[in-house]
Structure 1
């Protein structure tokens, strides 16, 4: 064995890595990966935190602004309007200009919209600012999904989406609880100032995100042409199956979001500070089924798990409607089937999104935007119907959830349809 002289560092042959160097590089890669996934989870969570944080304050907001319960519930619908149309805009923009810049621009709009909500003087103004807030938040949500598809494919994409949704579920798990405490300490306007702070912190983290769509893979066709291509995507039965399964389900979930504050707090007299605990039960179910979905995706397949989730949504939705109509079981007769319905999220959302993205990987931004717009557009209808038919009972929420679950199950029949030919984007836009 050759020994180096004291004080002399032996030269390492070129191209040979020490174990320590390899370990350090691997650790840096792992740390960077989890940092990126953490930011993507936060971006995906903007749709949840923007609403879940103020759910316990909805009755108080109505009293302060002199607005009816139906009008306050339409603040959820207004948010979904901005969120749906915002996604349709950000998807093609990101396919053309990359992912990171549109995310930053969206966060600026989110901050402005949140500040507007905090100073709103009436219900109509609050709805308007919620639309702007949602248009900004939609950039982070739709583009985080596209970034996952840029980095992963197949069942791996399903696993990563499930992981992100599980982490993201912390936001709605804690949102109503934290929102209730903010309401108690600082009033409902403080909730929206909190969202301003969250938006600013996230914006500061955006420069650390990698750009996942290289210039060589971008779609350089005019934005107007890219928007028109949504029509071609809408002719694809398979894509409609994935989007419809998720869309109908989202209609029920946002009926749940808009309806439970009044069903629990007003109808069943649950204290506002405890509402978050009941809402958290559904989030725990979502996290559990997302974990199961992530582990089973490679073995069972995303499409089968999607059907399983849709069956669960349909059956539990019918139970919700029955409990809401008859009052059987009181509060817990409503909470238990709502828990089962919300838990179906873990099997429906990630699999419907990944299935659609895997069908058109070269247009991940536009497909993610279209699927998201259809899902949240259904949320507009679901929450809007609950507000329009509000009668002081859980029944409007119950029948909307039941129809949503059945509709989601019926749409899964289109998932196995053969894709139709579409006009491909320019060759330089494809990977």
Structure 2
């Protein structure tokens, strides 16, 4: 019963944290007009958010190891909620980006604590299954979130998006305050924080799965960063039309996460991970070919991306569970470090995608293909036998 409650709470909090990445994307042109800046500058808000998620992750992990999971999760929800409520009050691009950074810092703690709480309750293949539910929450937020944002924007205006998200986050903190979570106690977590992180980072069985998951995650971040400029620019999509794209994206990720849930105990993690990364690579390669050969057909841009999303939904929870099992030190450290690596990679990739964002789709498609190729190389190295 306690494991079920933990799973429900962590999925809900991850959903809220990931909404911060996607819910405002349909309103990006309107926010740019309100701030009297170019839309490409406002698109940096995603990269800044990801930087905020990345930088404090190791701090959140070590803090959870010292004072407990629940106080850290409550603090993170509070920071995230207040950051959302404050964002519409700013009137400059600088204030928008600063508050996006604050949102990211809160989302960072939420993300770390969700993974750590799951890790405290599950292990092995069951950990991969539990993390697949976090993946479902993640993609529902990325996909349905942008549709929800488009509806709120049309009905109430873009500030209501952030007011709603902030209010729900603070309400979630009230719920969390009334719950008791299980914590796995391990003897090898008594070592000093930073040497522990360094020891884990040098371990091949941790690093390769973590990199494979992060590179696949980068494909999603790159698309979310640059796609609004492309699809609402030369393809002339409206905010609602762009929001509707969230449905096939969410369906693809949902199917993949269910695949992990139902197949991982039968096929094994490594085989399913290989299939997932292969789908990411195939989908992004078709995106690239379509962007070069048929520049006026939007279907050849977004539909292959959905197949890449399906592959990443297979890859991501398995990569996290393999990285956690491959870490030489237990506790919250491995989950915090993998989250830090992923968000740091996502921030860098988001910045690159913002830099190359243009009316043409092929630069984004090329970036996504290169990221997928890197993930496949990591998987092939994982499959190689380790030297004695």
TM-score (norm 2): 0.94
- In structure 1, runs of 5+ residues without a counterpart are 1-28, 422-431
1:207 pairs, out of 173, 177, 185, with 177
In the TM superposition, 1:21-420 aligns within 5 A as 29=1, 33-213=3-183, 219-221=189-191, 225-328=192-295, 330-360=297-327, 362-416=329-383
3-state SS, counterpart of residue 415 of structure 1: helix
3-state SS, counterpart of residue 298 of structure 2: helix
Deviations 1:6-44 (A, max 9, x none): xxxxxxxxxxxxxxxxxxxxxxx3xx5544322110122
3-state SS, counterpart of residue 236 of structure 2: coil
The question of whether the paired residues in 1 share the 8 Å contact of 2:81 and 2:170 is answered with yes
**In structure 2, distance between residues paired with 1:146 and 1:327:** 45
Summarize the Cα distance change of 1:240–1:417 in structure 2 as closer, same or farther, 3 Å threshold: farther
The question of whether the paired residues in 2 share the 8 Å contact of 1:98 and 1:212 is answered with no
**In structure 1, distance between residues paired with 2:265 and 2:160:** 44
Once the two structures are TM-superposed, the CA of residue 417 in structure 1 deviates from its matched residue by 6.5
The question of whether the paired residues in 1 share the 8 Å contact of 2:199 and 2:328 is answered with no
**In structure 2, distance between residues paired with 1:381 and 1:216:** 34
Once the two structures are TM-superposed, the CA of residue 215 in structure 1 deviates from its matched residue by 6.7
The question of whether the paired residues in 2 share the 8 Å contact of 1:56 and 1:276 is answered with yes
TM-score (norm 1): 0.85
The question of whether the paired residues in 2 share the 8 Å contact of 1:62 and 1:72 is answered with yes
The question of whether the paired residues in 1 share the 8 Å contact of 2:58 and 2:336 is answered with yes
- In structure 2, runs of 5+ residues without a counterpart are none
Once the two structures are TM-superposed, the CA of residue 361 in structure 1 deviates from its matched residue by 7.6
Once the two structures are TM-superposed, the CA of residue 359 in structure 1 deviates from its matched residue by 2.1
Summarize the Cα distance change of 1:48–1:327 in structure 2 as closer, same or farther, 3 Å threshold: farther
Q: CA RMSD in A?
A: 2.1
The question of whether the paired residues in 2 share the 8 Å contact of 1:238 and 1:414 is answered with no
**In structure 2, distance between residues paired with 1:165 and 1:83:** 17
- More off after superposition, 280-289 vs 92-101: 92-101
Deviations 1:342-362 (A, max 9, x none): 111221110000111122385
Summarize the Cα distance change of 1:418–1:208 in structure 2 as closer, same or farther, 3 Å threshold: farther
The question of whether the paired residues in 2 share the 8 Å contact of 1:235 and 1:420 is answered with no
The question of whether the paired residues in 1 share the 8 Å contact of 2:203 and 2:327 is answered with no
3-state SS, counterpart of residue 169 of structure 1: helix
Deviations 1:386-420 (A, max 9, x none): 21122222223211111111111111133246789
**In structure 1, distance between residues paired with 2:258 and 2:27:** 31
Summarize the Cα distance change of 1:184–1:48 in structure 2 as closer, same or farther, 3 Å threshold: same
Q: How many residues align?
A: 388
Summarize the Cα distance change of 1:112–1:419 in structure 2 as closer, same or farther, 3 Å threshold: farther
Summarize the Cα distance change of 1:419–1:82 in structure 2 as closer, same or farther, 3 Å threshold: farther
The question of whether the paired residues in 1 share the 8 Å contact of 2:40 and 2:229 is answered with no
